[in-house]
Amino acid sequence: MNYFDLTKANIEDLIIEKVDNFDCLIKDGQQTYDGFILAKSPTGSVLTLCDISFHKSNIDNKYQPRLVFRKSDISLVDKTTKSGATHIRIPFHTGQDGYREFWKMISFLYKFKDLIDVGDFGDTFQIVVTSQNSAHYISELLKKGYSEDVWQALVETNPDLATKLSLSIIYESRKSVIDEMEKKLEQDENEEYWQKTLAKNRWIFGNSYIGIIGERRTNILSTLDHPLITEDGYLEIVEIKKPSFPFWKKTKDGKNYLYRGKYLVPNTELQSAIAQGSNYIYETEKDMDSKTWAENHDGIYPLKPKCLIVHGRSNDWEALESQSYRLLNDRLHGISIITFDHLVLRAKQTLELFKPVK
């Protein structure tokens, strides 16, 4: 006898094929199978098997699957009952018992319901989506890659559920991006990594930007990290640095340098980023009336462009750092600075808009 091992093989390759007016076969193109291996003992010496045979019904002409569950040794010989016992109990309670494999088998049989008789299983049992299991089923929908037709049908039959599913899909997808960002904050990723991540996920910046300009070059000498379009239709430049760059100037022993013993000073890298941002603003403003520049930049004229710099971390700041940061932003003209921690906070606040309602 030959059994399909559900503990390690992919059941998607199997089919049920009609042989004649009396029988069907379970096969995968190369072999035929008499049933399934549902579970194995830790040592592999005891198997939980399900023998399957098919018998055609005279009532509906479907083939009725006949299932026999049994325990066997590795040679497929039935295990005998212990002394004094009248039967062998076969539970499907845990992964070791093979409960996942059992339901894989049931699902496999149900796929061929037009050929074999599975009773009223589909009408009697249904999946109930709750707040606890919704993420799982949404994930399964995405993995299956259902077409637009499926979603359209869902919209027509249950628009509220379709909306909730759509929001949940967005929520789960964006949450995974934030989780990845938080991990990468602790690693020394280069600027290119952050530029690519943020370019693919403009929503991270919040709701103030409605688009990104395709052409990043301002002229032959300068290329912008992220030329974004604000909600009022103008240009804002986003300059991405690294989380590992210090925000404040440091002393030789790694402490914050205090000018005259009481004022924090921006780190050299941050000062350079501010100078770079100022230069970008100056260069783009020179083309404010240039029709050619606008044509090359999605019709956007650089009228009073602003620059947002993302630089360093603020997760361990105390009162002095927070106050100095506030004062620093206040004295800058056309430029604002946030840290990568501020950016993650923005992303989390945006994510809340898509949080599934329980």
Q: What is the pLDDT of residue 30?
A: 78
Q: What is the pLDDT of residue 89?
A: 80
Q: By mean pLDDT, which of 4-8, 105-109, 154-158, 326-330 is the weakest?
A: 154-158
Single-letter code of the amino acid located at 166: S
CA distance linking residue 317 with residue 284, whole number of Å: 34
Return the domain boundaries, the chain. 3-124, 134-182, 190-352
- Is residue 309 pLDDT above 90, yes or no? yes
CATH code given to domain 190-352: 3.40.91
CA distance linking residue 3 with residue 37, whole number of Å: 6
- Is residue 210 pLDDT above 80, yes or no? no
User: CB under 8 Å to 234, separation ≥6 — which residues?
Assistant: 300, 301, 302, 303, 304, 305
pLDDT in tens, 108-155: 888 888 888 776 555 554 545 555 555 555 555 555 555 555 556 566
- Per-residue pLDDT band at 8 (split at 50, 70, 90): confident
Q: By mean pLDDT, which of 5-19, 76-90, 177-191 is the weakest?
A: 76-90
- Is residue 318 pLDDT above 90, yes or no? yes
User: CB under 8 Å to 296, separation ≥6 — which residues?
Assistant: 215
For 324-353, what is the HEC assignment? Answer: HHHHHHHHCCCEEEECHHHHHHHHHHHHHH
Rounded to 5°, angle at Cα 29 from 57 and 31: 80
pLDDT in tens, 248-257: 999 999 899 9
pTM score: 0.55
For residue 259, what are the β-bridge partners?
263
pLDDT in tens, 31-79: 899 999 999 988 889 999 999 998 887 777 788 888 999 999 999 998 8
Contact at 8 Å (CB) between 247 and 312? yes
- Per-residue pLDDT band at 200 (split at 50, 70, 90): confident
Single-letter code of the amino acid located at 26: I
